[in-house]
Chains A and B, each alone.
Chain A
């Protein structure tokens, strides 16, 4: 209960808190402002609001690891735009001070708990993320060439490389696991360390989705096993590629799958579920502040009681970070990737 009110306070006052936090940061680091920092002010406020959103969600879910992981991730970004670890830590503590203005003693205890855990964690565990393309990967060469084409904005060559590999007999499943998955992760990392722009990141994901859709004739001609899977992205989620990959993976394993993109109204999802009577429902979110929507959707599906055998599995960044989170939001299981989702399905259905 205490967590809920604190989280709500943070969300309700996020504009004010962010502005005050940034003012504190600027006051306390006057030497920095002289050089460069002023032009960052609006961006700093925006970034601080992101921190606050993640913090509120983590506090609400009572999951320190969610916040810790986010701060670890943000520290990498900050370092790459010129804010070193110690300055980032100072900024974090200033943010805490700004929130403290709005909280009572007990809430401050929770805040300190979260902030000191995050600070201690990055002090002792901070490391630069390593490339996701590793030589041990069985399709390392293909993945590297594919990434290179994407970074050169050459989607035709990227697409040709994949289609030719499939024609040469490489299973689509392997391309999903050994090319698309690591390349998508690598693109995220390159953005995180400021090596590629936001535009490039969006382009690469869009191009990969296009290439994937060219593989659909292969994927949908797989022999069916009679099982059904409904997958849906939640809220205004931007990151659909992961869950769609999971759905495709199920389709390749013989399942009849239905994928709903972000912004599909819950009623439509529930109507389809009633109509299709799936064996498994997969829901995903990448952005932590969509957790609330996810929880509500699960509640709404379960309230229908249309088929008690149907299981709900969740996935996405927050669940990878916080291993028990799936229980807290009412799901029946969680999987970090497509292969594990399929394992879960096979185990729980027999």
Chain B
């Protein structure tokens, strides 16, 4: 490629951008630099005429002018093209040669300024180049990565918050409920020592058992608050049969088909907690378990014929630490059932049984 200098000016020949400068013609700050400032005084007049011709005809070429180069002042060949109020100047130092002109035009059309005016007035809006587009794309990729990470972290954060709540709950149970049992045991031991009354031993036994139960429930709680449950198709009927084998004195009526529902290993805990609840609190002697199917769910009904649950506490029984009456144990059993059903994407509710007792409705997703 032959040498050339290609400059972009405005209509007044104020230099805005230098697109190519093989001759190091432009060494000064562009802010106020005009074309005439690089023209030797000897040919200012011709330079003026050149400017006029470019402005009048939109094109001028084969002009010979003396320009001021860093090391010398010398003869140069110029062409100017005006387009859209902008003027492109192409300068070569060798005899006017069409290939140099074309090289200049090529520079002009690839238009990557090597120096650009800092003055706002003359600053041109640079077109987006391929290189810019690659950079934007890389930024978008970086941003995508960040958002993906953010998504992953937000998800993990929700799990952590859940586990935090679990730890708080355990802490509260240890400080409050377990401490309560020990306080009662301690004073019962004192009273027994003084009176040797065997009733105090019974009291101690009761509270030791309640403490053990609490610790057992904590194990269940761990399952409730663990990360995402590992839901698999489970056979409901066989789980129920397994659970009720522990309740020899209760009369069970099972009206169930082989149904597979989505649950994890905690399914046994749910069934057991509900049956235990009906036996302990409801004082029922008979339990009927039946089911009802919808398109996507299975509703299991566990009906007892005991004392029933008064309307005013129906809303509260699933909350943490709700204890009812003398038989109230850890207060965690139904809370655990509710939380586990939530983990399964299902639900639990309670309604009255006819003529008496309560019915717990468990809604599971079908496997």
Contact = CB atoms under 8 A, between A and B. Distances in A.
Contacts of B154: 213, 216-217, 219-220
A212 B148 CA distance: 11
Interface string B313-354: 000000000000000000000000000001111000000000
Contacts of B139: 202, 206
A341 to B, nearest CB: 17
Interface stretch (A64-72, A110-118, A256-264): A256-264
A288 interface: no
Interface in B116-148: 128, 130, 132-133, 136-137, 139-141, 143-145, 147-148
B144 A262 contact: yes
Contacts of A295: none
A142 interface: no
A38 B104 CA distance: 13
A199 B151 contact: no
Most A-side CB within 10 Å, residue of B143, B147, B150, B343: B147
A99 to B, nearest CB: 24
Contacts of B133: 198
A256 B228 CA distance: 8
Contact of A259 (B111, B148, B342, B365): B148
Contacts of A46: 130
Interface string A246-286: 00100000101001111100000000000000000000000
B38 to A, nearest CB: 25
B295 A213 contact: no
30 contacts: A39-B109, A42-B130, A202-B136, A202-B139, A202-B140, A205-B140, A209-B143, A213-B147, A213-B150, A213-B151, A213-B154, A217-B158, A220-B154, A221-B158, A223-B342, A223-B345, A224-B229, A224-B343, A226-B229, A226-B231, A226-B344, A226-B365, A238-B144, A240-B144, A244-B148, A248-B151, A259-B148, A259-B151, A261-B148, A262-B141
B148 A224 contact: no
A348 to B, nearest CB: 13
Contacts of A226: 229, 231, 262, 344-345, 365
A197 interface: yes
A225 B345 contact: yes
A38 B111 CA distance: 12
Contact of A216 (B105, B130, B150, B365): B150
Interface string B139-172: 1110111011011101101100000000000000
Given A206-B139, A219-B154, 10 more contacts: A38-B105, A42-B130, A199-B128, A202-B136, A209-B144, A216-B150, A240-B148, A259-B152, A261-B148, A262-B144
B110 interface: yes
Nearest to A248: B151
A259 to B, nearest CB: 6
A238 B141 contact: yes
B210 interface: no
Interface of B: 105, 108-111, 128, 130, 132-133, 136-137, 139-141, 143-145, 147-148, 150-152, 154-155, 157-158, 228-229, 231, 262, 295-296, 342-345, 365-366
B136 A199 contact: yes
A278 B262 CA distance: 14
A210 interface: yes
Contacts of A224: 228-229, 342-343, 345
B343 to A, nearest CB: 7
Interface in A284-299: none
A209 B151 CA distance: 10
B117 to A, nearest CB: 21
Contacts of B140: 202, 205-206, 238
Nearest to A38: B109
A30 interface: no
A343 interface: no
Contacts of B157: 217, 220
Contacts of A248: 151
